């Protein structure tokens, strides 16, 4: 669900830039720590285990196939958004703070 929302926001921003006549042909990368979501988006084969997924969730696959976005895996320890969304142990918290250029606690 979160990956789908991130892709929707990405597409919105790309369309906004096009509306402002700002040409940008770069392919951007979206990082997630959800390996099954990446596999489902990149794999054309419809697995029996994915039958329960609603049509709207295939939106990510559609955008990957169109070449608008590239999904990449990142470990949970390197997922910068986790500092705002999850309770983290002190080591992971300090690592993310360093990635963000902030001081450790």
Output the pTM of the full model.
0.65
Q: 60-87, pLDDT tens digit by residue?
A: 888 888 888 888 888 877 778 778 888 8
Which residues, given as ranges, of the chain have pLDDT below 50?
Answer: none
Q: Is 68 exposed, middle or buried (0-12, 13-18, 19+ CB in 10 A)?
A: middle
Quickly list DSSP for the chain.
-HHHHHHHHHHHHHHHHHHTT----PPEEEEES-HHHHHHHH--S--GGGTTS-GGGGHHHHHHHHTSEEEEE--GGG-TTHHHHS---HHHHHHHHHHTT----
């Amino acid at each position: 669900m979160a990956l789908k929302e991130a892709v929707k926001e990405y597409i919105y921003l790309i369309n906004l830039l096009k509306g402002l006549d700002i040409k940008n042909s770069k392919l951007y990368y979206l990082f997630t720590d959800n390996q099954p979501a990446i596999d489902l988006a990149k794999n054309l084969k419809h697995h029996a285990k994915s039958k329960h997924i609603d049509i709207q969730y295939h939106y990510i696959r559609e955008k990957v196939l169109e070449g608008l976005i590239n999904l990449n895996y990142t470990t949970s320890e390197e997922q910068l958004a986790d500092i705002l969304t999850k309770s983290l142990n002190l080591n992971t918290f300090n690592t993310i703070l360093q990635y963000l250029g902030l001081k450790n606690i």
